[in-house]
């Protein structure tokens, strides 16, 4: 008996239904999209990837030129979930203590007290993450990977859920600091955001003209609680994956390491990220098992920031997305 056969059981009428009930999750995802859609026109792919990352308990790096709704979409997503939100604007003079917090001497108690920084929240929006130098960026390593920080020998755990959404501008390089590969590898997704098409542009302008709210985000309300989100993340972790699909994921990852057009392939963490992301996309589609299409859909956002194109091919205009596409086309799809 295959895993997918074991994943269904007959109901009273004799019909087969999934073992994992994803109806509540699907309704909540639809509500989140609807709330964000009150303000954001288009950008469906970015929104869906943000929701998928949230369900997979992973962080997201959003890259796009100024004005394509990167920051406001992240803020709106945070507003649809009834949890804490914190925004950090990265600047060249930002210090690690400005993010994590610091020990401050209390004259009354004659002891040092830890004052938590803005990273102590549920949703952390980091604007222009590449504006701060490596010293400040490295302050995020532990908190993103382990959901904790260690300060003066004391460990402080982050409250769950904990999600970092960071933005960066791919065009402007003056006064920026390139994110190291170790930092990039801690993001589940890198989402590239492009310009809207003509019809979407017309809708954006029309919507803005008819809007009478001083703050557009006031139109968006929380529709998912923290406890519901934790429940959904647990459901996603239990999505069924057949053995041959696990082998398919491993084949994609290994192929990036053997590809002659790449001088840096994907790490084992990338394989785990691809598995988690594929489960999220399956759950969003209402399935309690993943398909090859879920894996292919997740592959671009999972791999594009984890592989590096050789300089020769990069000069020819070849991108990491193109190489990922070639890899997916070269590997036989399991059925």
* CATH number of 288's domain: 1.10.8.80
Domain annotation covers residue 8:
no
Q: What is the mean pLDDT of the chain?
A: 87
Confidence of residue 209 (pLDDT cuts 50, 70, 90): confident
User: What SS3 state is found at 190?
Assistant: strand
Buried/exposed 67-86: b ≥16 CB within 10 Å, e otherwise: ebbbbebbbbbbbbbbbeeb
- Residue entry with tokens 């647990």: 234
pLDDT of residue 12: 47
Domain annotation covers residue 100: yes
Q: Please determine, for residue 2, whether its predicted confidence score (pLDDT) is greater than 50.
A: no
Contact 113, 104 (CB under 8 A): yes
Query: What confidence category does residue 217 fall into, taking pLDDT thresholds of 50, 70 and 90?
Result: confident
Contact (Cβ atoms closer than 8 angstroms) between residue 165 and residue 128: no
Which CATH number fits the domain that encloses residue 82? 3.40.50.300
CA dihedral 105, 111, 115, 116 (to 10 degrees): 150
In-domain check, residue 248: yes
Task: Indicate whether 108 pLDDT > 90.
Answer: no
What pLDDT digit, counting tens, does each position of 41-65 carry? 888 999 999 999 999 999 999 998 8
**243 and 324 in a common domain:** yes
Q: Which residue has the higher pLDDT, 14 or 273?
A: 273
Which residue, of 161, 189, 207, is where some domain finishes? 207
Identify whether the C-beta of residue 96 lies closer than 8 Å to the C-beta of residue 139. Answer: yes
Sign of CA dihedral 267, 170, 77, 164: positive
The confidence score (pLDDT) of residue 175 equals 66
**Higher local confidence (pLDDT), 71 or 292:** 292
Question: Between vectors from CA 280 to CA 298 and to CA 234, what angle results, nearest 5°?
Answer: 150
In a domain, 230, yes or no: no
**What does the pLDDT read at residue 18?**
63
pLDDT over 70 (residue 301) = yes
Taking the C-alpha atoms of 141, 144, 147 and 151 in order, what is their torsion angle to the nearest 10 degrees? 30
pLDDT of amino acid 299: 96
Same domain, 166 and 119: yes
How far is C-alpha 283 from the geometric centre of its chain's CA atoms? Answer: 16
Q: Which percentage of the chain shows pLDDT scores above 90?
A: 53
User: Looking at the domain assignment, is residue 37 inside a domain?
Assistant: yes
Kindly state whether residue 3 falls inside one of the protein's structural domains: no
Query: Inter-axis angle of helices 292-303 and 320-330, to 10 degrees?
Result: 150
Place of tokens 């990852």: 253
pLDDT band at 173 (very low <50, low <70, confident <90, very high): low
Q: How many domains does the structure of the chain reveal?
A: 2
Q: In DSSP terms, which residues pair with 103 in a beta bridge?
A: 114
Average pLDDT estimate for 169-178:
75
For residues 332 and 256, membership in a common domain is answered with: yes
Indicate whether 146 and 267 sit together in one domain: no
Among 313, 243, 236, CA closest to 278: 236
- Cα(280)–Cα(25) distance, rounded to whole angstroms? 11
**Containing H/E element for 263?**
strand 262-264
Q: What pLDDT, on the 0 to 100 scale, is given for residue 6?
A: 42
Q: How confident is the model at residue 4 (pLDDT cuts 50, 70, 90)?
A: very low
Separation of CA 7 from chain center = 28
Domain span at 83: 16-207
pLDDT at 330 over 70: yes
- Same domain, yes or no: 184 and 278: no
Q: Which of 160, 183, 207 is the last residue of a domain?
A: 207
Has residue 322 been placed in a domain? yes
pLDDT for position 16: 47
Question: Considering the entire predicted model, what is its pTM?
Answer: 0.87
Residue 231 maps to a domain = no
Q: State whether 247 and 164 are in the same domain.
A: no
To the nearest 10 degrees (0 to 180), the angle between helices 23-37 and 268-284 is 90
Mean pLDDT, range 171-190, rounded to an integer: 83
């Amino acid at each position: 008996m295959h895993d997918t056969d074991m994943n269904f059981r007959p109901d009273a009428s004799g019909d087969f239904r999934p073992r994992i009930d994803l109806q509540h999750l699907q309704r909540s995802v639809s509500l989140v999209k609807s709330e964000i859609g009150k303000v954001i026109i288009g950008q469906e792919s970015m929104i869906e990837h943000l929701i998928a990352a949230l369900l997979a308990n992973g962080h997201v790096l959003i890259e796009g030129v100024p004005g394509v709704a990167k920051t406001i979409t992240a803020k709106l997503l945070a507003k649809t979930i009834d949890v804490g939100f914190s925004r950090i604007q990265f600047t060249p003079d930002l210090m690690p203590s400005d993010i994590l917090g610091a020990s401050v001497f209390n004259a009354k108690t004659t002891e040092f007290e830890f004052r938590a920084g803005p990273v102590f929240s549920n949703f952390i929006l980091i604007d222009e993450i590449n504006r701060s130098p490596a010293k400040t960026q490295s302050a995020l390593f532990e908190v993103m990977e382990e959901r904790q920080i260690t300060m003066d020998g004391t460990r402080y755990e982050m409250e769950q859920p904990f999600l970092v959404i960071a933005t960066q501008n791919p065009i402007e390089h003056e006064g920026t600091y390139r994110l190291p590969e170790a930092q990039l590898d801690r993001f589940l997704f890198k989402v590239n955001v492009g310009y809207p098409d003509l019809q979407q542009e017309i809708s954006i302008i029309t919507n803005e003209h008819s809007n009478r709210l001083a703050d557009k985000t006031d139109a968006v309300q929380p529709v998912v609680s923290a406890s519901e989100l934790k429940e959904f993340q647990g459901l996603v972790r239990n999505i069924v994956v057949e053995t041959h699909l696990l082998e398919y994921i491993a084949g994609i990852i290994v192929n990036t390491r053997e590809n002659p057009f790449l001088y840096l392939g994907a790490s084992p963490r990338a394989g785990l990220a691809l598995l988690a992301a594929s489960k999220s996309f399956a759950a969003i589609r209402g399935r309690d098992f993943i398909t090859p299409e879920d894996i292919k859909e997740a592959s671009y956002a999972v791999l594009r920031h984890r592989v590096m194109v050789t300089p020769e091919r990069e000069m020819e205009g070849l991108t990491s997305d193109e190489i990922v596409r070639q890899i997916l086309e070269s590997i036989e799809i399991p059925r």
